[in-house]
């Protein structure tokens, strides 16, 4: 069963990574700051929940999503200055 979780994790990351690389290269995010903030906060909350449930696949997924959306949030806010 963990193979299915790892496959899903890989697919989600495959979608996010190119977006984050582009965001870093261009030093701006195409995400609205409010969306990036909510997504980051939600991912961090789900990370804590996954940790409490001892679900390593979901913990890894949500920590990665928190990091990547946090990077997008940073550049979304930086672009507003």
The CATH number covering residue 39 comes to 1.20.1280.290
User: What is the residue range of 46's domain?
Assistant: 2-78
Number of domains in the chain: 1
For residue 79, pLDDT over 80 is answered with: no
pLDDT tens-digit map of 10-60: 999 999 999 999 999 999 998 899 999 999 999 999 999 999 999 999 999
| Helix axis angle, 56-78 to 2-26, nearest 10° | 10
pTM score, whole prediction = 0.86
Q: Show the tokens assigned to 66.
A: 């928190």
Of 54, 50, 67, 61, the closest CA to residue 5 belongs to: 61
d(CA 22, CA 12) in angstroms, rounded, equals 16
Query: pLDDT-derived band of residue 1, with 50, 70 and 90 as boundaries?
Result: confident
């Amino acid at each position: 069963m963990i193979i299915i979780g790892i496959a899903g994790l890989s697919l989600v990351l495959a979608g996010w990574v190119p977006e984050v690389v582009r965001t870093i290269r261009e030093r701006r995010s195409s995400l609205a700051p409010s969306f990036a903030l909510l997504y980051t906060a939600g991912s961090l909350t789900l990370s804590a929940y996954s940790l409490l449930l001892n679900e390593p696949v979901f913990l890894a997924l949500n920590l990665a999503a928190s990091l990547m959306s946090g990077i997008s949030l940073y550049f979304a806010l930086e672009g507003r200055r």
